[in-house]
Structure 1
Amino acid sequence: MPSKTKVSDLVRRFKLDVLCGEEGLKRIVPVADLYRPGLEIAGYFDYHPHERVQILGRTELSFLQTLSDEERYLRIRKICENGIPCICISRDLPVPVEIIEIASEKQIPVLRSKMPTTNLISKFTDFLENKLAPSTTIHGVLIDVYSIGVLITGSSGIGKSETALELVKRGHRLIADDAVEIRQTAENILIGNAPELIRHLLEIRGVGIINVMTLFGAGAVRNNTKISMVCKLETWQQDKQYDRLGIDEEKTRIIETDVPLVTIPVRPGRNLAVIIEVAAMNFRLKGMGYNAALQFTNRLTETMNEEMDNMD
């Protein structure tokens, strides 16, 4: 589910001036789309998207000044009628007294920024799309291996954190341990990060909680990364047939995205960190168009065909 975003989040993120309506800073911003109410200022209200943040730039404010005092008052009051989240003024422009008066009455925050209107809209949209993206939390470990975001999953105690520690020692970077917050910021793009409380921390049974950044330096951690593949650790099952060639590619669904899945059986003597490292490198090679398993299969088929031809 997308997280709730409030007007106060915009104020903090972009250091906006709050001109009035402080009581409404807890208002929810339900959508990432913004709106410049030019048509409404001109008197057309049939399709006014009142759920959006209302942006007033130089064009809208200049046109307001061409209206009579009565028209200006009526248009602004109607814009504020349906519970808009807030009004934001760009370019540090002066605000008509009617906006301050009506917004104060209805407890609608009026904000002001020094940014030009186009920049303000772009930054607001990026921020809101990120905050309002569908999200979930998964039990696992997220590691950046050669710039490939690898989500390590598996049952509790199977060795996810210990594997992550070994990967960090080999020069890779930790994003999250135990709980991974995942957001779908665009189609087929998942971004993972750690909850603020456990950022940069790793829990090793028998040792306790360690701070990876303190022990290994700032280069051993990242705040977030795109999730490219999932490595599932599971206890080795003698009667289960595991993929030995890698031709059949499994997928697992996270939110609305199918992510490549590699199942790694765990048993004594297997170096999980090295296996995950190789899996990440192999994933990158596949993305570059080289599939070792497919090439081996093709060569095997060609060899068998040649032998059959020789027998004939």
Structure 2
Amino acid sequence: MNKAVNNGVWSGSWVAERLGVELLGDPELTDLLGLALRRNPKRAHLLVSNVLGKHVPQSPSIVYGYGFTLGRRVRDLLGPDESARSVVLGYAETATGLGHAVADGIAVAPYLHSTRRPVPGVATAGGFEESHSHATSHLLLPENPELLAGKGPLVLVDDEFSTGNTVLNTIRDLHGRYPRDRYVVVALVDMRSAADSGRLDEFAAEIGAKVDLVAAASGTVRLPAGVLEKGQELVARYEAGGAGTGGVSSAAPSGLGAQFPAPPKTHLDANPLGARGTARPAPTGP
């Protein structure tokens, strides 16, 4: 297995040791994800992707290869007819590039990503709330107002699928405006808890549509009692002491000084989906 870490040190070790947070699931989960400390009243930790190229340096071929491969899996799931009628929606800000790559993998799908900024003169085609985010309200502002009005599948792309609240809020809003028969949720990691794992099927039955999930890996986060208070105390201690090169972020990984692990090395020869055996080499063309 190719490890996306530096010198064999997992990029979530610093936070995991201090907060007692654990990632449990597929063996490749820690290749895909690290942990960071977060200044946020709702969450003490942040899952940081090792393959998005957003917060951790990564080879463009790996970044693009993961999204493209997921798009190919969606195309295989839908078949040629439904793929040709699909529309891809990516979530700002983390999954905007990932959504582009998924749309490329599907090969013919138009792409739209959400935004948190209204544009004067552009009509809103939909909106939803991301309850755990630092900026909760998302807007959909397609240049073509009819983009979301088709009957083909809607493919929703995010970096992680955790509680499912954001996706369900999105589908609920859009299904009321532009009802369709099928939705596909795409994520690098499926991190739902056991309590949340059945919600997608229940919701699909409620709205009378099919909802599929495609992910590169799956697992859960185990949080000890008092983790939020412990995280807030840790943030306060380091901010008061002036530790770290970049401070503690409200949304991004924290440096927290020299003790924080170095960014993962790129793994140029890695199979994008690791041990699951469903990956293809990083694409060289459309």
**What TM-score bracket applies, with the shorter chain setting the length?**
under 0.3
Q: Which has the higher contact order (CA 8 A, sep 6+)?
A: 2
Decide which structure has the larger Cα Rg and report it.
1
More strand by share: 1
TM-score for both structures, normalised by structure 2:
0.24
More helix by share: 1
